[in-house]
Structure 1
Amino acid sequence: MGAEPGAPWNTFAEGDNLDVLATLPDESYDLIYLDPPYNTGNGFVYHDDFKGKRGAGAAGRHASWLAYLRPRIEAGHRVLAETGAIFVSIDDHEAAYLRLLLDEVFGEANFLAQVVVNLNAKGRQLGKGFATAHEYVLVYAKNARRCVLDASSPHTVVEGDFPLATDDGRRYRRLPLRNTNKKFNPLSSPTLHFALWGDPETGQVAADPFAGAVEIKPVFGDGTPAVWRWSRPLIEERPEDLECRVVRGVRGDRVDVYQRDWRHPVGGRRKKLRTIWLAEEIGSTDTAVAELKDLVGHVFESPKPTGLLLRVLGTMPSDARVLDYFAGSGTTGHAVALANAADGGRRTCLSVNSAEPTRVGSNAERAGYATVAAVTRARLRAVAATVGGGYAELS
């Protein structure tokens, strides 16, 4: 992984994404994010000619959409690194079909998550039925066993998760030092079954007896023998990260040992990401429109917010090579620049967009953007000017 020193953070390629992908080396990108055109059933806006393939009704529409997307997903699989991951945004119309396609191309074993993304907190109020407030992001690894994706974030850690504090103000929570999984017991893990010593008055814990201490053996709540999560050498190395206290069990009071899990451990703390991402955490369609408006004007009605892409980027190393070959307004490249500026990372992003004409009478056309690619280019240039990192075009 890693960008060459001095390489521009953002590179743009105009052209059909299949043609551009054909020029890219195998396994040359660590992270792919895609926001492909959604098939809403209201006609197709794709370049490919499906007139002879559509068939009748919804089945034909789904088949045509998949026929368009399949070679592009297969090409993405080829250029994705063995340790990489792909994130694909989609709505309800094609989520089931897209998941089957990704299962086929990437393999069911490499499915990581189907994330619900709440981009419209109020829900769509027009039309009949429910007020839809979400889309999805499907996440797959190239090879789940080797994938470096870390499905956690420092931004989801909250103070309330750490209700206790030491005299010097360090916040922590208690985690049982005893392994609570009964698969781990003195028979399966004999080296982790041993006595500790602790003083419930002071909370002190040690591997050897000391004045005022009582012997503490690991037991389950029903009194059957258990094992510790830490080895004896680790306990001897980190006694200040342990404490003991009296607990009430089914057989009466006993003394148990807990790990002090610190709010600010060495190296920082991350919390596992849930599979529902709220607009208040990652932004919404409204905030995305405002972000784009600040740079190039009000030209798109439903871009993705940079907060969504920042969360995606946060799951990968800070020197990831990123690819977005349905670049739209350029949100992915914008987020890469913001992430690098914030943490000093060396991420790079190749954004690909076609010269598809903007819709007649649209805000983009009225603003002077003849093609969607022109919007992407303008945004990435504006990002380079305001955030930094440079800009280049792929020849």
Structure 2
Amino acid sequence: MGRVSSGPCNTFAEGDNLEVLAGLPAASYDLVYIDPPYNTGSAFAYRDSFAGHQAWTDMMRPRLEAGRRVLADTGAIFVSIDDHEVAHLRLLLDEVYGEPNFLAQVVVNLNPKGRQLGSGFATSHEYVLVYAKDARQCVLDASSTDLVLEGDFPLVAEDGRRYRRLPLRNTNKKFNPLTAPTLHFAIWGDPETGEVRTSPFDGAGEIKPVFGDGSPAVWRWSRPRIDERPGDLVCRRVRGATGDRVDVFQRDWRHPTGGARRKKLRTIWLAEEVGSTDTAVAELKEILGHVFESPKPTGLVRRILDTMPDDARVLDYFAGSGTTGHAVALANAADGGRRTCLSINQPEPVRPGSNADLAGFRTVADVTRARLRAVAERVGGGYAEHSVVE
């Protein structure tokens, strides 16, 4: 996105999110993450004033529409939800964002032990629904550097770089000499040295791409690309259904030239990867005290942030304890990014007798504000209040 950030990384607005969103410019945010009330009656910040699915969707619809208005055409929204409302939310997001812009329904393992209270199954997951504003323009990259492991690259080159071998031939039988004739050609290689070229040389034999059963195949690389990168190829003897033959492999490097390697995100996110409700409570307790019963872990939001450029403008209009702003500050500190975050929370009174009440907080917005201020002091990035136009 290439923009230069000015001002603090974290900004907070206290007020009704519909009113605050109405005052924001259209297409002014790249990424929205929200964790709305789940309509279960047990939420800390919101009492169950949205009883019944219809009332809950009536509450959510205008807020999703307002969020879509301020989302850039290249942006995406991530919404946390549990089993109670996931089906209704999926239909509602299809309405607001359009079915073609659905990207994923991610299962998040936030409670590995499972909820032991009550009858029935020990639920150990929630969901994150992901939609693009416009899937054709969206810049979301559904991959992560954190998933790339050394063990995925078991071989070591002479210069110490790790790699794995991938067949140079296209293993998909849809691609063959009839469908991709320009990629069916002979190359030459010496299995004793591993050297590969597009023209004959001493000690080399002709190699044509074939499937394991001996039927004709095609290469994944063109002749010019092979000529440009001969050091990334190696040939060796292999055993096939028709006997021994020589095949060609790409050296797929652990650290390729031109940027960090990324691996596609799966649609199940484990607690050991993104954190759990327990770790979220612990990290909030460490910075502010035990004032929130079920916050989201910053690791979950940081994985979401990693799908977007490092100067993304982030918006959370159900800010709760302020996890999103905290995660943005941590991400910037870790990689030097220039992300900014606007967190919005209404001055909902805390529940009498709750930990937040006993700690002296009057409203949930007070908790959000206190956390973001503490984050600015400990992590850096700065903090400001967003002026809400009356």
1:166, CA displacement in angstroms? 1.4
Task: Indicate if the aligned counterparts of 2:44 and 2:351 stay in contact, CA closer than 8 A.
Answer: no
Q: Could you say which residue in structure 1 is the equivalent of 2:164? A: 173
AA matched with 1:313 = L
Note the 1:1-395 alignment, pairs <5 A: 1=1, 4-40=4-40, 61-266=52-257, 267-395=259-387
Q: Distance in 1 between matches of 2:45 and 2:246?
A: 68
Secondary structure (helix, strand or coil) at the match of 2:146 reads: helix
| Structure 2 runs not aligned, ≥5 long | none
Q: Distance in 2 between matches of 1:384 and 1:208?
A: 61
1:108, CA displacement in angstroms? 1.0
1:233, CA displacement in angstroms? 0.7
1:42, CA displacement in angstroms? 6.7
AA matched with 2:168 = L
Secondary structure (helix, strand or coil) at the match of 1:11 reads: strand
Task: Indicate if the aligned counterparts of 1:48 and 1:68 stay in contact, CA closer than 8 A.
Answer: no
Q: Distance in 2 between matches of 1:4 and 1:381?
A: 23
Q: Distance in 1 between matches of 2:122 and 2:54?
A: 27
| Structure 1 runs not aligned, ≥5 long | 55-60
Alpha-carbon RMSD across the aligned residues, in angstroms, is 1.7
Query: In the superposition, relative to structure 1, how do residues 47 and 361 fare at CA in structure 2: closer, same or farther (>3 Å)?
Result: closer
1:6, CA displacement in angstroms? 3.1
Which deviates more from structure 2 when the two are superposed, residues 99-108 or residues 178-187? 178-187
Task: Indicate if the aligned counterparts of 1:2 and 1:320 stay in contact, CA closer than 8 A.
Answer: no
Query: In the superposition, relative to structure 1, how do residues 101 and 279 fare at CA in structure 2: closer, same or farther (>3 Å)?
Result: same
Secondary structure (helix, strand or coil) at the match of 1:218 reads: coil
Q: Distance in 2 between matches of 1:45 and 1:346?
A: 30
Report the identity percentage: 78
Task: Indicate if the aligned counterparts of 1:113 and 1:138 stay in contact, CA closer than 8 A.
Answer: yes
Task: Indicate if the aligned counterparts of 2:195 and 2:234 stay in contact, CA closer than 8 A.
Answer: yes
1:372, CA displacement in angstroms? 0.2
1:204, CA displacement in angstroms? 1.2
Q: Distance in 1 between matches of 2:125 and 2:208?
A: 49
**C-alpha deviations, 1:18-40, integer Å up to 9, x for none?**
00000111111100001000012
Q: Distance in 1 between matches of 2:3 and 2:292?
A: 30
Which deviates more from structure 2 when the two are superposed, residues 24-33 or residues 181-190? 181-190
Q: Distance in 2 between matches of 1:213 and 1:134?
A: 56
TM-score (norm 2): 0.96
Q: Distance in 1 between matches of 2:49 and 2:334?
A: 43
Q: Distance in 1 between matches of 2:219 and 2:74?
A: 33
1:168, CA displacement in angstroms? 2.6
1:123, CA displacement in angstroms? 0.8
Q: Distance in 2 between matches of 1:166 and 1:145?
A: 40
Q: Could you say which residue in structure 2 is the equivalent of 1:57? A: none
AA matched with 1:35 = D
Tell me the number of residue pairs that the alignment of Structure 1 and Structure 2 aligns. 386
Q: Distance in 2 between matches of 1:27 and 1:294?
A: 36
Secondary structure (helix, strand or coil) at the match of 2:33 reads: strand
